[in-house]
Structure 1
Amino acid sequence: MKGNTGKILHLDLTEEKFAVEKPTEYFYRKYFGGACMGVWYVMNQVPAKTDPLGPENVLAFTISPITGAPVSGNARHCVTTKSPQTGTIAHSEAGGFWGPELKFAGFDGIVITGKASRPVYLWIHDGEYELRDASAIWGKTTGDSQDFIREDIQDNKARVCLIGPGGEKQIRFAGIVNELKHFNGRNGMGAVMGSKNLKAVVVRGSAKPDYHDRQVIKDMAGEAARIVKEDEFYNNFRRCGTTLNVEWGTPAGGLPTRNWTQGTFEEQEALKGERYADEMMDSPGTCFACVQNCKRDVKGGITSPVAIDPRFGGPEYETVGMCGSNLGLGDFKEIAAINQLASMYAVDSISLGGVLGFAAQCFEEGVLTSDQLGGTEPRFGDFDNLYRLAEMVVKREGPGDILAEGTARAAEHWGPEALKRAVHVKNKEFPAHMPHIKGSLALSYAVNPFGPDHVAVEHDPAIASTPVGERLQGLGFYDSEDPVSLNQEKAKLTAYSQRWCGAIDSVSTCSFIFNTWSMFGFEELISLIKAVTGWNYSMNEFLLLGERKLNMMRAFNIREGFTEKDDMLPDRLFETGLNDNGPSAGRVVNKEDFLKAREYYYGICGWDPLSGVPSEYKLVELGLDWALKYILNAS
């Protein structure tokens, strides 16, 4: 089987037993890898109403046939589980080097269940596997833990995917990190790993995949290098990385500020990518075989307000938004300090910024007192108090133990006035992209199977140009739309782009390299899949892959008790306008437009327009007739 190893490793931590599965080529072609394959394993192995932090939950690490192909963008891996943050099925992707190394070590995925009797880590090397004791590093931060593991196995080049104390303490938004700076950040994957007493999954291998047409792969790699060298946009992206989003979002009033009460930050000029590159960056970091080099590596020697260890990398845009402007902070060094804290304890910096912003608004408006917040006085712009509270969160100390449950649960604990200030969907904090100025994004935050996610859909500006870009015309979008509008066309954008973004996650590639707006489009991605696998793969198969994933997740969530009532934005987005003087001042999401668009979205997906339940016809069309029982049992 070209591109794949043909093997999935299964591990029952309770029994400490391994098994190797060899799926059929038909299974690989239907579910491919990445998110779609991970969702299949979680759906078929997790019993109904399972506690996400219980031993019966499944944690699936998956890659795809093109993972590790020496072309920019093919370094990602996916982790899938029932989320302790949302209660839904969820997946989270990460770049780096771990995914390709798993393939080189002999496997296309790892499916883990049970709970170890003691802290352990999994060591996989050239087709062999074993559990090793991790008691000495339980409670240690990620950097110290990675150092210990590499010393323990006597291999400094082993790729280490691990949790920090955040996952051990089962913080609802704990993540998993590899190489200390590449994160499966969202949806609480680290909490599930911690609940299983699993500290790390470590991989090392020397096997090289067999490819159908190496020349196509080589030519594409060369073209990527040429584009990065000659194209001004990609040169700039290499220099500034995702922090360019500050430049792109500010003209429209799209920078989340002071817990989503504003869209314009008075210090936003200080947060732009060029400023970061000049003041903070040592060199651009990268992932396996990628010439884009969009990761942020910080300089050594930064000692104030805290000492920064360059090993943990620097803040990406999401952290700049959620731990910067969202907290009223305009100093990159302060943002880098919070980013490093999140990396050391392995928690999601998006949700960390969300809970801190929520606490600051509650304190400033008299909803919470200093006594309730452990003696801190977290005000927007007050780094010292915000950082002290952040330390309490990642350590689950005092009020940090409440905030570690996430904004929604903390607000429920503190009462009705706190609930009014909580910004979340399905108990998950928003990423740093404002739904007030992007209609389709607002809809997607509500209907996405695992809550708000900024890479689950195409963003509205993609169809704002005149004419609409050629790649998007090829996907069925011809007429320009105002980014703010929320109508039938935006419902279609949400539904259609969930398919292609879901497919991107299922082939485990990077949307910065392959997408409607990226270096390569989907035609090139299909060519790469053909070159790797030898399959006569088509664009139709690619889109069906994403649609299959979406419908499996919808069926799982219905079984778990989720309904259309959970596909809803917070009331404050409908009722309370942004209170600044910027371009988005006064902006709200129109609730009537939202509800009508949601109805159209359900219908376009082939679901009941009112309940959002997938039809039997849609599941049969996608080869998911086996998933009907999830819906029938729920009803």
Structure 2
Amino acid sequence: MTAEFFGVTGKLLRIDMTQEKATIVETDPEIYKTHIGGVGLGLYWLFKEGVVSPDVPPFDPRNILQIMVGPFNGIVPGTQSVAVTKSPYNFMCVSYSGGYANSEIKFAGYDGIQVVGKAKDLLWVSIVDDKVEFHDAKDLKGKDSEETEIILKGMVPYTTSPLEYRKERVLTKENLPTGKDANGNAVSMWDWWGVRANPPYAIGEKRLAKVLSIGPGGEKGVWYANIMTEGSHAHGRYGSGAIMGSKNLKAITIRGTKGHKVYDKTKVLDIIKTIIANQKLQIRWRTYGTGNLPATATNYESAYGIRNWQYIAWHDPRSVKPLTGAFLETGFWVRKDSCCSIGCQNCFVTSRVTNKDPELDGTLNDIPDWEAQGNVGGLLDFAMPDDLFPGKDPRNAKLADVLTDYECASRFIYAVSIFDRYGLDYIEGGNHISLLMELRQRNLITKEDLKLPPEVGDLIWGNHKAFAWIMKQLVTSDDPLFQALRKGTYETAKYFAEKKNNPQIMYYSQTIKRYGQPAHDPRSGRCKKVDEYIHTERPGAHTEGYDAVVPYRAMYGSLVGCTFAAGTIGGAKEIAALLTALTGWTYTEADVNNAGERIWCLERTFNIVTQGLTNPAEQWDNLWPRRWLEPIPSGPLAGQPSQVTEEKMKELLAKFYANRGLDEKGFPKAETMAKWGIQYADEWLKKYRGS
């Protein structure tokens, strides 16, 4: 392929684990222009290679694990990488991660990494630009993701690269600011800096490689295992880590030195200056990241999942205190850092626990973000643990001193660190463990059913010892019980419903399209709309927006941009201008919006085809928790009816179908697929929709 690319490289690195061989895969420029990168390009390849077929099981070597980037990576502030594959749950896995690895992929000369096949034994792969090597990983087996990363960063020469030196200046006079000297005369930084010789020393530190790895959860095939980077960043939804483990791939280290070639550098830098100026105004996100949300979620929104969603607010507004960003930063702060390679928001904070309990003492982790505050702190109720507040529940006053709150927070950070070290998603995982806790609370299962040893106590709310024991069994034990539990919340409920001959147990599975609900509840109407969770094809995703915003977010996931930085870039018009400057292809506002519709249709088609659905409206969009129909049980809105009803759900979904060009059964129509130019996907869809 002879086309010259800007903003993207035109190349994917394909790693064949079976053959221990790496090759370059190229894509037609028109596919790049219409699918952009990231999610869109990843889905294109899953269709092209036939992975979408129901005949390709998720753990089959034919499945393709892809870590994708887009035009924004490596230069635009606020970017991520995205894992695109077939999930262990047999639906689409599109899972984002912050961190620095996304830029290294782009700098190495790739728009993504594709992993196919399965190695005979556990391996890790090193990438330095064009050089790809396969290494024995037997010494890494069973190690957590953090330890794996530390070890691999020391594996010289596989994590280093040639020292970078450029004789010519990268920046030009046009890129540098001008100002005034002491006498008021105009002066350019170029007049002082640009005329000097480029000093002959290297750029950056010695060990610059970034690491993408799995923990023991991925090795054991826990369905909600993550791909981890930098300790706490995760491709955290839908089990990409389990797919990586199924290929006997423990980790990838990557280092790139080729830079990011863009079409109009001056225009791109001008736009980035505006973005950075906007980001400096984002005080809310720059202070605690998403950790600023807990008090609002319980005390105003009544949308905070507590005790497996039995409650959505604490009665006492002070109860949430040990889970809030302000309290956690005050009590556990070590250092502040950035979430992504450009450093836009500086919302990543390292924390350390000091506690008389040796199991808790010394825990080092990031201060948990909102989803952890909700789905670990709230769902497992580390705000009001049963042993510290006997006989009380979220409907009661808390009346705690600061030392008790510190103990609650210590348990909470420790629990989150277990998810990170084992490489597991705490959104699905929090729902999973809280399901078990509620089943114990209601005596629907016994301690003996869970094989809990006496020294850890019962699996009650806030018991970190029993929680930690269960988690360890998930990632180490070959007992048939834990093999069954590795399949996540929905399948665990199904397992016990069958074992106990009690179908009512399924009611307590708080899942949306078979995946755990994020930390936002729709009952009050102050947080999520009635049918908002159903609009997205990423099951239960909480950042995908509503109605027309959903395809827009699919487009944004192809750039690949961070949700929380999106507002500082602007809307479709501003994105079109930035894409044009990056790639040299002409984009209009309509092109950007159309790309979103195209990619969302690909997402829905993938989920329909891979599951073999004949009526998506009933078999897919109707998979939501009926607990949403319950009245609000506690907090400022206690006793009010839920805004969610079966009738509203059907009525609103019908409108959404019409807006997206779907038929009454929820299939994308043939004319819709043709409108977006994805007839290649429609060939798969026809079997289930009809002509």
Aligned to 2:361: 307
Aligned to 2:516: 429
Instruction: Kindly name which structure, 1 or 2, has the bigger radius of gyration based on alpha carbons.
Output: 2
CA contact (8 A) 2:493 2:506 kept: yes
Is 1:497 aligned to residue 500 of structure 2?
no
Aligned to 1:510: 562
* AA partner of residue 248 (structure 1): T
Is 1:387 aligned to residue 387 of structure 2?
no
User: Following TM superposition, by how much is the alpha carbon of 1:168 offset from its aligned partner in structure 2, in angstroms?
Assistant: 0.5
Aligned to 1:7: 11
Aligned to 2:603: 553
CA contact (8 A) 1:247 1:273 kept: no
Is 1:533 aligned to residue 587 of structure 2?
no
User: Following TM superposition, by how much is the alpha carbon of 1:276 offset from its aligned partner in structure 2, in angstroms?
Assistant: 2.0
User: Following TM superposition, by how much is the alpha carbon of 1:67 offset from its aligned partner in structure 2, in angstroms?
Assistant: 0.8
User: Following TM superposition, by how much is the alpha carbon of 1:31 offset from its aligned partner in structure 2, in angstroms?
Assistant: 1.1
User: Following TM superposition, by how much is the alpha carbon of 1:313 offset from its aligned partner in structure 2, in angstroms?
Assistant: 2.2
The one of 138, 143, 146 aligned to 1:143: 146
- After superposition, the C-alpha distances for 1:536-575 in whole angstroms (9 at most, x for unaligned) are 2122111222211111122222223132222124453354
CA contact (8 A) 1:318 1:432 kept: yes
User: Following TM superposition, by how much is the alpha carbon of 1:236 offset from its aligned partner in structure 2, in angstroms?
Assistant: 3.5
2:117, 2:415 → 1: CA distance? 33
1:308, 1:41 → 2: CA distance? 44
Aligned to 1:158: 209
Bigger shift: residues 349-358 or 280-289: 280-289
CA contact (8 A) 1:90 1:449 kept: no
1:320, 1:597 → 2: CA distance? 30
* AA partner of residue 501 (structure 1): R
Map residues 68-83 of structure 1 onto 2, 5 A cutoff.
68-69=74-75, 71-74=76-79, 76-83=80-87
What value does the CA root-mean-square deviation take over the aligned residues? Answer: 2.1
CA contact (8 A) 2:324 2:373 kept: no
Q: Sort the Cα spacing of 1:157 and 1:368 in 2 relative to 1 into closer, same or farther, 3 A.
A: same
Other structure's SS at 1:90 match: strand
Aligned to 1:215: 266
* AA partner of residue 528 (structure 1): L
Q: Sort the Cα spacing of 1:325 and 1:440 in 2 relative to 1 into closer, same or farther, 3 A.
A: closer
- After superposition, the C-alpha distances for 1:274-307 in whole angstroms (9 at most, x for unaligned) are 2222122323321111231112321475675513
The one of 608, 627, 635 aligned to 1:573: 627
Is 1:176 aligned to residue 227 of structure 2?
yes
Bigger shift: residues 624-633 or 150-159: 150-159
Aligned to 1:252: 301
Is 1:242 aligned to residue 319 of structure 2?
no
Aligned to 1:616: 670
CA contact (8 A) 2:418 2:468 kept: no
1:397, 1:315 → 2: CA distance? 30
Aligned to 1:485: none
User: Following TM superposition, by how much is the alpha carbon of 1:320 offset from its aligned partner in structure 2, in angstroms?
Assistant: 0.8
The one of 392, 398, 412 aligned to 1:335: 412
* AA partner of residue 633 (structure 1): K
- After superposition, the C-alpha distances for 1:570-593 in whole angstroms (9 at most, x for unaligned) are 453354333224325454311100
Aligned to 2:167: none
Q: Sort the Cα spacing of 1:57 and 1:540 in 2 relative to 1 into closer, same or farther, 3 A.
A: same
CA contact (8 A) 1:242 1:317 kept: yes
CA contact (8 A) 1:104 1:208 kept: yes
Map residues 103-502 of structure 1 onto 2, 5 A cutoff.
103-154=106-157, 155=159, 156-229=207-280, 231=281, 234-250=282-298, 251-265=300-314, 266=316, 267-286=319-338, 287-299=340-352, 304=357, 306-310=360-364, 312-330=365-383, 331-375=408-452, 376-396=457-477, 399-415=481-497, 416-438=503-525, 441-457=529-545, 494-502=546-554
TM-score for the superposition, normalised by structure 2: 0.81
* Structure 1 unpaired stretches of 5+: 458-493
User: Following TM superposition, by how much is the alpha carbon of 1:395 offset from its aligned partner in structure 2, in angstroms?
Assistant: 3.3
Q: Sort the Cα spacing of 1:569 and 1:628 in 2 relative to 1 into closer, same or farther, 3 A.
A: closer
Q: Sort the Cα spacing of 1:607 and 1:409 in 2 relative to 1 into closer, same or farther, 3 A.
A: same
1:47, 1:211 → 2: CA distance? 33
1:571, 1:167 → 2: CA distance? 27
Aligned to 1:48: 53
Bigger shift: residues 167-176 or 34-43: 34-43
User: Following TM superposition, by how much is the alpha carbon of 1:253 offset from its aligned partner in structure 2, in angstroms?
Assistant: 0.7
CA contact (8 A) 2:535 2:550 kept: no
Q: Sort the Cα spacing of 1:9 and 1:220 in 2 relative to 1 into closer, same or farther, 3 A.
A: same
The one of 56, 71, 74 aligned to 1:65: 71
What is the identity percentage for the equivalent residue pairs of Structure 1 and Structure 2? 25
* AA partner of residue 242 (structure 1): T
1:157, 1:288 → 2: CA distance? 12
Aligned to 1:600: 655
1:418, 1:308 → 2: CA distance? 38
Aligned to 1:102: 105
* Count of aligned positions: 589
Other structure's SS at 1:549 match: helix
2:625, 2:378 → 1: CA distance? 22
TM-score for the superposition, normalised by structure 1: 0.88
Q: Sort the Cα spacing of 1:152 and 1:279 in 2 relative to 1 into closer, same or farther, 3 A.
A: same
CA contact (8 A) 1:578 1:586 kept: yes
